[in-house]
Structure 1
Amino acid sequence: MHWQVTQLGWRPVQGKPMTEASDRTIALDDDTVTALRAHRKAQAAERLAAGEAWVDCGFVFTDEMGRPLHPQVSGQFYVLAFDVGLPSVCLHDLRHGAASRMLAAGVDVKIVQETLGHVSSTFTRDTYTSVYPELAKTAAESTAALVTTAARNGQAGRLINLQTKTGDNVST
């Protein structure tokens, strides 16, 4: 999609992207491409069923008549998630979650930034990422293992690395 959709009330208004970074191509995995192809096929069937009443807005996700989805869809998603026992999240929360999961999977922050269409990676890191408890635990265990290993090898003193005001490193 080459245009950003902004909601004014309940009517979508097409406009240019907020920034140059917002206008981007996003790489997709094979499973997502397969799902989108299936969705496109289903949407083509809806188009045939609607006939002349079909509104060709060019959006990937539309209602059964081709019109842009009403903003209420986010509220409906929230209720559906709750009804099936998932945490109650809004659609935009999925964007934050995707960014956090990409970074947790080791994806470079620059790629995450560009995928989300952000101008800076600092904004991506500060706004769109979370520290997952399992990763924090892994970091704590890794640090503890480093200390334990050094102590076993008689090198515990080398773990303390102080930097003086002049920038000199002093190991004890």
Structure 2
Amino acid sequence: MVWTDQLVAEFLDYAETEAPDLHPLLHFMAYRGPRRGEARGLLDAEVRLDKAEVSIVNQIAVTGGATRHKKPESESGNRDVVLNPDTGLFFVRRDGRAWHPCSVSQRFRRLIQRGDFPPARLHDLRHSAATIALQAGVDVKVVSEQLGHSTTTLTVLNEAATAEDLTRWLNAETLRRVWPSLWLPVRRRALWQARFPELAAPPQAVAS
């Protein structure tokens, strides 16, 4: 479930009191939309507080229960959006150790349950960040770059909730043109083709 801006604000107020050690990371995810591994892997050296910007060039992935550092998922994933000398990470636990991605997700779920908030995944904060920005009038290209998407089309398809959103944020002709070559999860592609059957039609059929 993608939360509204009001729900996000209420949850962050709750987290600030109930989980002050985790609140800064959740706030960053809710309003800038990094992936879980990217937020966890944010490096001290890539945070420029004087300029109010960060560079996302690293993420922490979980493989077989073990964590490892790796580059973001794609070239477009490398982007610009008390410091700990041991881990080199910006977001750390109170004792200075790195957060495990799974423990962040578990804490998030417990906070939701205790605070009686609507069900949501940690990853949904990323979608909330995009939706809040788009509805506030931020250009879709800016939002796409912030999220590390390879195309603005992908951003719109992920975040649009209604047909009105789709037509407001993306030219329909552009969408039809790039649709055959656009990679999307099978479920997401089926959803949009059910909503807009012309996307599944051959180009000549649409033109006629």
TM range (shorter): 0.5 to 0.7
Structure of greater relative contact order (alpha carbons < 8 Å, 6+ residues apart): 2
For residues 114 and 160 of structure 2, the distance between their equivalents in structure 1, rounded to whole angstroms, comes to 26
For residues 103 and 95 of structure 2, the distance between their equivalents in structure 1, rounded to whole angstroms, comes to 17
* Larger Rg, first or second structure (1 or 2): 1
Structure 2 match to 1:15: 70
For residues 129 and 72 of structure 1, the distance between their equivalents in structure 2, rounded to whole angstroms, comes to 30
The alignment of Structure 1 onto Structure 2 pairs a total of residues equal to 111
> Which structure 2 residue ranges, 5 or more long, are not aligned?
1-41, 43-56, 166-208
User: Which of 60, 72, 81 is the equivalent residue of 2:90?
Assistant: 60
For residues 13 and 103 of structure 1, the distance between their equivalents in structure 2, rounded to whole angstroms, comes to 33
- Kept in 2, the 8 Å contact 1:79–1:88? The answer is no
> Which structure 1 residue ranges, 5 or more long, are not aligned?
27-39, 48-54, 137-172
Structure 1 match to 2:18: none
Question: Secondary structure of the equivalent of 2:79?
Answer: coil
1:90 matches 2:121: yes
For residues 98 and 160 of structure 2, the distance between their equivalents in structure 1, rounded to whole angstroms, comes to 29
Q: Taking structure 1 as the reference length, what is the TM-score of the superposition?
A: 0.55
Structure 1 match to 2:106: 75
Question: Secondary structure of the equivalent of 1:74?
Answer: helix
Amino acid aligned to 2:144? Q
For residues 91 and 130 of structure 1, the distance between their equivalents in structure 2, rounded to whole angstroms, comes to 19
Deviation per residue, 1:52-105 (Å, 9 max, x gap): xxx722222222333321212212211212211222222211001111111111
For residues 112 and 144 of structure 2, the distance between their equivalents in structure 1, rounded to whole angstroms, comes to 27
Question: What is the deviation of 1:18?
Answer: 2.0
Structure 2 match to 1:126: 157
Q: Taking structure 2 as the reference length, what is the TM-score of the superposition?
A: 0.47
Structure 1 vs Structure 2: percent identity of aligned residues? 36
Question: What is the deviation of 1:122?
Answer: 0.8
For residues 86 and 159 of structure 2, the distance between their equivalents in structure 1, rounded to whole angstroms, comes to 33
Structure 1 match to 2:172: none
Structure 1 match to 2:141: 110
Moved over 4 A (4+): none
For residues 79 and 22 of structure 1, the distance between their equivalents in structure 2, rounded to whole angstroms, comes to 29
Structure 2 match to 1:34: none
- Kept in 2, the 8 Å contact 1:6–1:14? The answer is yes
User: Which of 96, 118, 130 is the equivalent residue of 1:99?
Assistant: 130
